[in-house]
Structure 1
Amino acid sequence: MRPLLIKALLTVTAASLLLFLYGFVAGARDVLYPQAGSSVAKPQEQAKKKAGTLQIVSLGDSLTRGVGDKEGIGYIGRVKTSLQQTYGQKAALTNLAVSGAKAPDLLKQLSDKGAQYTLKSADLIVLTIGGNDLFPDWGVMGTTDFSNYRPDTATFQKNAQAILAKIREANPKSPIFWMGLYNPFEDVQELKNTSSIVVNWNASLEQTALAYPNVYIVPVFDLFQSRGKDLLYTDHFHPNEKGYALMANRLLQNLASQLSLEEAGAKK
């Protein structure tokens, strides 16, 4: 009886050793000799992600924060809702925007390890920045001679390049949608010469984005043109609910096109 027990124990031990060695060799082979395409998800994993939740990360200033919106969701919150209701696409939103931020502030935030970690898992990145860089402080705008005003476009372009580089450092592939600027002051007599400044600013942003793949500038200037009284909040700077809704619709059109989304119930 005893020899049989010892023999059984030896057999089990030998089998366990063989399984361990097989697992070790297989693991070492995957590390030392990875198969082609081993760094990408398997087909079933890709399908699961496509059918799962779209991870949205939003960045920037008070526009992305939603200031002026009584509902407190701004354009990006409306986009999240519309993705679910219109396209049947589940979405999760992480809004890292900070009211009052300028381009250097965003650049500093992007150097934070927490922001880099959040961006790494994003399927979609949306931002607004530049409005606080373009115009001087609200308190002195009425005394600024905008016929001779020349914003520091060159510095903004350098900051924009650095912002995109930082985002791509954390997330090399996910699409980036950068919202353009509108002019909230075109109906103010003292600030009537500001529209051309905003147009040129947007053009410089579009030129900067051309150097980066999968980066899209979403124009909104035309949405607010001659409609400030209807679309702006009482501070005459931020959008109201109607203004944010228009921005959300414009962004959603771009998202649907670039991500090849189909409306829920649409024929394939």
Structure 2
Amino acid sequence: MLRAPVLPVSFRYGARARLRNLLAAALLALPGLAAAEPLELVALGDSLTQGYGLPEGEGLVPQLQAWLLANGADVRVVNAGVSGDTTAGGRARLGWSLTDQTDALMIALGGNDLLRGLPPTESRANLEAMLTEAQGRDLPVLLVGLPAPGNYGPDYKAEFDGMWHDLAARFDALLVPNLLAPIMDLAPEDRARREVMQDDNIHPSAAGVALIVAALGPPVLELLGRAR
């Protein structure tokens, strides 16, 4: 972080002192000399973002925050995850989740749409509305998806899985098509697979989140590079 220089000027009374004070204030006002504010990234998501079932500090947002800081990013990650939220819920609260200080947006929703078997057309419409809102605010976006299971049929899966790529291309958003890929790549019978999931076999453990963050971190760094 840039910090203001220490100037050898004392603030005293008198014409000469006033001139020196004015010069000091002018120098501090120059771009790059004042302390730079960290970027603000809003992570809009569901229980996977919120950190369901994990101790404070071990969820996705705090682990991502730590990873980004360790890799040189001056950023504050805002946890806008709500357990049970669908894309419709995210769409409804996006407007007040973003502020004038927001520099970038990560959207990680869709898992609860799948759990409820909602039509992919509804999910697409909600995601499209959120991307349009972000575009209107000139915010770069990272879209984080999940693949549909096969039990809804091939047509449903093709439509749901395809929307992530379509929307990312249309809105020039960065894309991570499968948030859980680092875990799903482990064989189901592998003991390591069990250790990275909580007992409900839906939410990752702290160790599982660490795997996710290791894969998610680089695209988030790329996202921050597009900010401001």
TM-score (norm: length of structure 1)? 0.60
Deviation track 1:226-247 (CA, whole Å, cap 9, x = no partner) reads: 3542321111111111221111
What aligned pairs does 1:226-237 form with structure 2 within 5 A after superposition? 226-227=187-188, 228-237=193-202
Contact 1:68 1:241 in 2 (8 A): no
Could you say if the C-alpha distance between residues 180 and 50 of structure 1 is closer, same or farther in structure 2, counting changes exceeding 3 Å?
farther
Correspondence for 2:174 among 212, 216, 229: 216
- State the partner residue of 1:158: 125
Correspondence for 1:70 among 26, 31, 55: 55
Deviation track 1:110-167 (CA, whole Å, cap 9, x = no partner) reads: 24xx334x2x32222122111001123xxxxxxxxxxxxx751112111110111122
RMSD (CA atoms): 3.1
In the alignment, the residues of structure 2 paired with residue 107 and residue 57 of structure 1 have an alpha-carbon distance, to the nearest angstrom, of 14
Q: Structure 1: any 5+ residue segments left out of the alignment?
A: 1-43, 137-149, 187-191, 262-268
- State the partner residue of 2:81: 97
- State the partner residue of 2:115: 135
- State the partner residue of 1:115: 97
What aligned pairs does 1:232-251 form with structure 2 within 5 A after superposition? 232-251=197-216
Could you say if the C-alpha distance between residues 259 and 61 of structure 1 is closer, same or farther in structure 2, counting changes exceeding 3 Å?
closer
Please say if 1:175 is aligned against 2:140: yes
- State the partner residue of 2:161: 202
In the alignment, the residues of structure 2 paired with residue 175 and residue 124 of structure 1 have an alpha-carbon distance, to the nearest angstrom, of 5
In the alignment, the residues of structure 2 paired with residue 49 and residue 164 of structure 1 have an alpha-carbon distance, to the nearest angstrom, of 33
Contact 1:160 1:205 in 2 (8 A): no
Paired amino acid for 1:58: A
Could you say if the C-alpha distance between residues 223 and 48 of structure 1 is closer, same or farther in structure 2, counting changes exceeding 3 Å?
farther
Percent identity for Structure 1 against Structure 2? 23
Could you say if the C-alpha distance between residues 100 and 124 of structure 1 is closer, same or farther in structure 2, counting changes exceeding 3 Å?
same
Paired amino acid for 2:171: Y
1:105 counterpart SS class: helix
Paired amino acid for 1:168: Q
**Which one has the largest radius of gyration?**
1
Could you say if the C-alpha distance between residues 77 and 134 of structure 1 is closer, same or farther in structure 2, counting changes exceeding 3 Å?
same
TM-score (norm: length of structure 2)? 0.70
